[in-house]
Amino acid sequence: MLARMLFGVIVFLSFPALGQDMRNVSEPVIPPTCAVLKARLTPAKDGALKESDEGKVDTERIQKALDACPPGQAVKLQRIGAARAFLSGPLQLRAGVTLRIDAETTLFGSRRARDYDVSPGSCGRVAEKGDGCKPLIRADHVANAAVMGEGVIDGRGGARLAGEKVSWWDLAQEAKVKNLYQNCPRIMVLTAADNFTLYSVTLKNSPNFHVLYRGGNGFTAWGVIIDTPKNARNTDGIDPANATNVTITHCYIHAGDDHVAIKANRLGPSSHISVTHNHFYTGHGISIGSDTEGGVSAVRVADLSIDGADNGIRIKSNSSRGGLVHDVVYEDVCIRDTKNPILMDSNYSFYGQDRDRLPSFTDIILRNVRVFGPGQITLDGFDSTHRLGIAFDQVLIDAPERTRVAADFADVTLGPGPVNFFPTGKDVRVAGKATRGNPASCKEMFVPMPGK
């Protein structure tokens, strides 16, 4: 059971398990507390830290508490009166230990680039290579760790770096203009962290990705709010990479890049992933790719709203990082005011020199998908051998006369439910026919972004 405050009323939501995660996933339970750390900092009226408090870091005492906490218990960060803030540099989670951010409490990330250096001077700059920053929170080869609570983790991506005139997001934009890499920290990087749980917490203003979960078996994000402006470059919400048994559910994501991006580079596949009962706002969509070389399969997306985004349902790759994407089902999805409501892109932006890792997207099913507002549907296979294989069943758009459909190298099936558009293009083969119809209302699906 999930409780959320909507329009001042607590609404309890209960949904059956659905999807391809092979675990039996239920709502997480916050474990007993091993230590309570009391806040020492009081934010200014605008919610930011006072300049005089920027040197009062809590990194050491938080890390010591995590190190000393027995598995199965939690370190709780707690407000005391007006003092409701903690300030930290990079933290490392321990096996079986939960970091709990209590209600009305904020953990702020440090604005000092040197705190995040992987090597001296590597973080906080634009360069020929990236990966120069440690994340704010790291879990590395530790099982059963977690971050929970009703509080907030604020990466402060838009705040000016200490001693500099630019923010993390300014560096990201500079890197885009110069075709270089930004070295900005992520809020969480979870590597081979089996059975990791992210529950109820709010993540905001990440300098880069909010959550990267890579190389692990078992990840649950339940009731998480991610809230970062749409112009904050490379601020993906949750990215499972080379991951197995993933559930992302009951989440609200407003981001500057992909809401969720399922990736699989040459290190291994991503499979058995469930994305269910979520609400997405501005951002770049529910994405697979662009790294698909390792293969992506057994993905189920259900009961999803996407409102005001750049992209909706999206699979992307290219000849330098492509591989097989198959057995992917999207069901009961409502999309509104989104530029590219359906985007199958086999020729996504090139990076790297290799051109022999060709993308193949097949066995893709969209069922009961409703689109409101104009936009473009793109169905792009790579070539006559690496074709897009996609089926539409009860997929309806409310403005077919204002929706452009572009397709090539695609095998498309329409039906048995109504589909009110008909794709044509280079080497496009269609089984079935278009049927007139208007999408049923999605009014109950489009809900406001919760505030924190």
Per-residue pLDDT of the chain (452 residues; tens, 9 = 90+): 333 333 232 333 333 344 599 999 999 999 999 999 999 999 988 788 999 999 999 999 999 999 999 999 999 999 999 999 999 999 999 999 999 999 999 999 999 999 999 999 999 999 999 999 999 999 999 999 999 999 999 999 999 999 999 999 999 999 999 999 999 999 999 999 999 999 999 999 999 999 999 999 999 999 999 999 999 999 999 999 999 999 999 999 999 999 999 999 999 999 999 999 999 999 999 999 999 999 999 999 999 999 999 999 999 999 999 999 999 999 999 999 999 999 999 999 866 666 789 999 999 999 999 999 999 999 999 999 999 999 999 999 999 999 999 999 999 999 999 999 999 999 999 999 999 989 999 999 999 999 85
436 belongs to a structural domain: no
Is 386 one of the annotated active-site residues of the chain? no
Token reading at 25: 């996933």
**Whole-structure pTM value:** 0.94
CB atoms within 10 A of CB 22: 14
Flag whether 47 is in a domain.
Answer: yes
Domain span at residue 341 reads: 2-431
443 falls within a domain: no
Provide the pLDDT for residue 18. Answer: 46
Question: In sequence order, what DSSP letters do the residues of 93-125 get, joined into one string?
Answer: --TT-EEEE-TT-EEEEP--GGGGBSSTT-SSS
User: What pLDDT was estimated at residue 352?
Assistant: 60
Is residue 449 domain-resident? no
Q: What is the CATH number for 258? A: 2.160.20.10
Which one is catalytic: 21, 58, 170, 257?
257
- The dihedral over CA atoms of 127, 133, 136, 141, expressed in degrees to the nearest 10, equals 140
As a residue count, the chain comes to: 452
In a domain, 442, yes or no: no
Catalytic residue (choose from 58, 284, 332, 393): 284
- The count of structural domains within the chain is 1
Residue 258 has which token pair? 């992909």
Catalytic, 284? Answer yes
Q: Is 288 helix (H, G, I), strand (E, B) or coil?
A: strand
The answer as to whether 444 is a domain residue is no
Handedness of CA 64, 69, 71, 72 (dihedral sign): negative
Q: Does 343 reside within a domain?
A: yes
Question: Does residue 129 fall inside a structural domain?
Answer: yes
